[in-house]
A and B are shown apart, each in its own frame.
Chain A
C-alpha cells in the first residue's frame, strides 16, 4: 500500500494492523484458543436467541444494543490505553475480542434484564454477575492466556460491569416512558 503523503499516525496505524494480522496468522488462527472463541461466539449467540422472550424482543434488543455499544467502546479504550491486551481474536480487526464483546457478555446481560424485572432483583443479579465476571471468568481468561492485564486489576472492572447494566436499563425505561407519555 502507498504510504507516502499520509499522516504519521496513519502510517503507525498501518504498521499496527499488519503486525496484528501477522501475529494472527502465525500464532493465533486455528489454535485451540481460537476455536474456543469461535465456539463461544456461536453458542452464546444461539443461546441468546433460544432463551430470549420473543414477546419482549423489541425492548430486549434495545437493552442489549446499548450494552454492546458500551462494552465495545470501553474495551477499545482499554486496549488503546494498554490497560489490557487480548492474544486471541476470531478476526484481528475491531472489536478487541469479538466473541466476548458482542456475543457472550451481551447474552448474559440480556438474560438478566429479561429475568429480573424489578430494580431490586435486577441490581442484586447484576452484582452477582459482576462478581462472577471478576472472580471466575476473568481469572479463567487470564489462565488460558487469552487475556493479559497490563495495568489493570479485576476488581477495577467490578463497578464498570454494574454501571453498564444500570445505565442501559435506565435508558430503556426512560425511552419507553417518554414514548408512553407523549402519546397522551
Chain B
C-alpha cells in the first residue's frame, strides 16, 4: 500500500509547547497543593450529594440528562479554554485541563437534580434560573476566590445565559426522546 506522507501542521509544534507548559506548571505549582485537594474534595462532594438526592428508580432518565449535559459542557469548557475566555488554574490532570474543571462536573449534576424535581415546565424554568444565578454570581466568584477559576475575556452574565440555555435545551431533548420511545413502543 502506498501512503501519502502528509505534512505535519505547524500548529503541532505549538501544541507540544503548550502541553509541556501544562505539565511543567502542574508539577511545579498545582499537584498536591491545597487547592488541588480541595478540587478533588469538591468533585467527590458533588457526586456524593447527587447520588444521595437522586431518585433511584429514575436513574436511567436522570443519567441521560447528565450524559447529554456533559457532552454540551465538554464543548463549552473546551471552547472557552481554546478561545481563552476563562481558565481553570488548578487541574487534576495536566492533559485536557477542562476535564477536571468544577463547571464540567458540577453543572450537569445540579441541573439533572432540578430536572428530576421539577416536572412542570414553569417550575423548572424558575428553579433553573435561580440555580444558574447562584452558580454564576455566587459559586463561580467563590471558585475564583479560592483559585479554581478565572474569567479572562468573559463576564458572569454571559455564562448565565449560556448555562440557562443549555439546561433548557437538554431538558427538551430528554423529554422528546422519552416521548418518541413511548410512541414507538406502543406501535409495536
Contact = CB atoms under 8 A, between A and B. Distances in A.
Given A62-B64, A76-B78, A55 B181 contact: yes
B60 interface: yes
B177 A55 contact: no
B122 to A, nearest CB: 24
A58 to B, nearest CB: 4
Contact of A13 (B18, B96, B180): B18
A31 to B, nearest CB: 12
- By size class, the interface of chain A is 35 or more
A148 B21 contact: no
A28 B17 CA distance: 23
A77 B64 CA distance: 24
Interface string A75-104: 011011110010100000111000000000
A6 B83 CA distance: 13
A34 B12 CA distance: 19
A70 to B, nearest CB: 11
A80 B3 CA distance: 24
B56 A178 contact: yes
Given A93-B79, A94-B78, A150-B8, A175 B60 contact: yes
Q: Which one of B10, B11, B82 has the greatest number of beta carbons of chain A within 10 Å?
A: B11
B140 interface: no
A17 B153 CA distance: 15
Contact of A79 (B15, B67, B153): B15
Contacts of B116: none
Given A9-B25, A69-B67, A69-B74, A58 B177 contact: yes
B59 interface: yes
A61 interface: yes
Given A55-B188, A143-B3, A179 B57 contact: yes
B71 interface: yes
Interface in A46-79: 53-59, 61-62, 65-66, 68-69, 72-73, 76-77, 79
Contacts of A148: 6, 8
Contacts of B14: 12, 15-16, 19
Contact of B152 (A6, A57, A61, A62): A6
Interface in A120-162: 139, 142-145, 148, 150
Nearest to A176: B60
A141 B75 CA distance: 24
B170 to A, nearest CB: 11
A14 interface: yes
A180 B83 CA distance: 44
Given A6-B152, A9-B22, A17-B82, A80 B58 contact: no
A182 interface: yes
9 contacts: A23-B11, A58-B64, A58-B178, A61-B64, A68-B71, A73-B99, A95-B78, A144-B4, A179-B60
Which 6 pairs of residues, A with B, have the shortest CB-CB distance? A182-B56, A65-B67, A145-B6, A54-B184, A55-B184, A94-B78
Given A19-B11, A80-B96, A143-B3, 9 more contacts: A9-B21, A17-B83, A80-B22, A87-B6, A94-B78, A94-B79, A94-B82, A175-B60, A179-B60
Interface of A: 1-2, 6-10, 12-17, 19-20, 23, 53-59, 61-62, 65-66, 68-69, 72-73, 76-77, 79-82, 85, 87, 93-95, 139, 142-145, 148, 150, 172, 175-176, 178-180, 182-183
